[in-house]
Amino acid sequence: MSTKTPRLISRRGVLARVAATVALAAGLAACSSPASAPAPGAAPAAGEPIVMGFSQVGAESGWRTANTKSIQDSAAAAGVELKFSDAQQKQENQIKAIRSFIQQKVDVIAFSPVVETGWDAVLLEAKRANIPVILTDRAVDSEDTTLYKTFLGSDFVAEGKKAGDWLVQNAPAGPVAVVELQGTTGAAPAIDRKEGFAEAIAANPNISVVASQTGDFTRSGGKQVMEAFLKSQPTINVVYAHNDDMALGAIEAIEAAGKVPGKDITIISVDAVKDGMTALSEGKINFIVECNPLLGPQLMDLAQKVVAGEPVPQRVVTEETTFTQEQAAEVLASRQY
Ligand code: AHR
């Protein structure tokens, strides 16, 4: 399991700590105010549902759709009142949504940050309002880990490493020219999956990443970038896609170029959503590393605990596996998403 190390160590961190101390003082002052109306962040009255504000990245992929459904279904099952906001892959929309949740005095805020950096100010506002924050799916890059209660999600570096390890074991003969379809620039899974993969192939001089570009985690992005790669990189024999949607877009581009995906060009991706698993079982993808989107039940459980003031682990890592073509064919029918 990887632990994320802060990338922004600077005067900003010192300022954040000073501000955090001020926020703590403000929080204590809020706690000692008269209790006629519940203070923001106070546990809801007995019988009242917990109100959760959730800011979702968007609807960029099959994974994201399954993740949204899991959160909405689990909130309903747990009796949590969910205020759901779709940021359409824009950080500014997520910041606006979080500010609006603070104004509405929700009991808990959860969000999946579209990119890693730039969250300290708004998270400090939540902390000052005494509203606990839970990171789901993606991490933030902040030195101040008191700005959130816990981070629930995958180990993306480990996912990238599993993809690279498989390639090392199953590389086509001769020089291996990999093109990489990266996720959204600045997003934790894009940064970490790149890092894990690079680490896994590092000791193999016959494997090299000849081009790497973002396809923004979308099918259309994957297709467009792959079309350009096929023109500029005639020796490509492997695609490493940071998610299934981009791999599926790449398959369309490869077929349009008259090549056979999974045979002429080996394809490795991450997620294991239904469409990806179908392509894997059909031989068009060669290997998929699972990234589990069904975070809803664990998120509701953590939310209930933080609202009740109970301790929670700072990091909750999702359990995940990998799939070969044969394994995909076996489990496809029972796949939930
Ligand atoms: O953060 C998880 C990633 O985001 C998924 O792998 C990708 O499909 C999604 O868009």
Distance 187 CA to ligand 1 centre (A): 9
CA–CA distance, 261 with 270 (Å, rounded to integer): 16
pTM: 0.88
SS3 for the chain is: CCCCCCCCCCHHHHHHHHHHHHHHHHHHHHHCCCCCCCCCCCCCCCCCCCEEEEEECCCCCHHHHHHHHHHHHHHHHHCCEEEEEECCCCHHHHHHHHHHHHHCCCCEEEECCCCCCCCHHHHHHHHHCCCCEEEECCCCCCCCHHHCCEEEECCHHHHHHHHHHHHHHHCCCCCEEEEEEECCCCCHHHHHHHHHHHHHHCCCCCEEEEEEEECCCCHHHHHHHHHHHHHHCCCCCEEEECCHHHHHHHHHHHHHCCCCECCCEEEEEEECCHHHHHHHHCCCCCEEEECCCCCHHHHHHHHHHHHCCCCCCCEEECCCCEEEHHHHHHHHHHCCC
- The closest residue, in CA terms, to atom 3 on ligand 1 is 189
Instruction: Report all structural domains of the chain as residue ranges with CATH numbers, in order of start.
Output: 51-153+294-319 (3.40.50.2300), 156-291 (3.40.50.2300)
Q: How confident is the model at residue 40 (pLDDT cuts 50, 70, 90)?
A: low
- pLDDT score recorded for residue 43: 72
Q: Which of 137, 214, 269 to mutate to test the pocket of ligand 1 (most atoms within 8 A of CB)?
A: 137
Question: What atom of ligand 1 comes closest to residue 184's alpha carbon?
Answer: 10
- pLDDT score recorded for residue 46: 75
Q: Are 40 and 99 in contact (CB under 8 A)?
A: no
Pocket around ligand 1 at a 6 A CB cut-off: 60-61, 63-64, 137-138, 189, 217, 243, 245, 270-271, 291
- pLDDT score recorded for residue 45: 77
State the distance between the two ends of the chain, measured CA to CA, in whole angstroms.
Answer: 25
Distance 11 CA to ligand 1 centre (A): 32
Place of tokens 């933080």: 306
pLDDT digits (tens, 9 = 90+) for 154-172: 999 999 999 999 999 999 7
Backbone angles phi, psi at 109, to 5 degrees: -115, 135
Question: What atom of ligand 1 comes closest to residue 271's alpha carbon?
Answer: 6
Considering the chain, what percentage of its residues have pLDDT values greater than 70?
A: 88
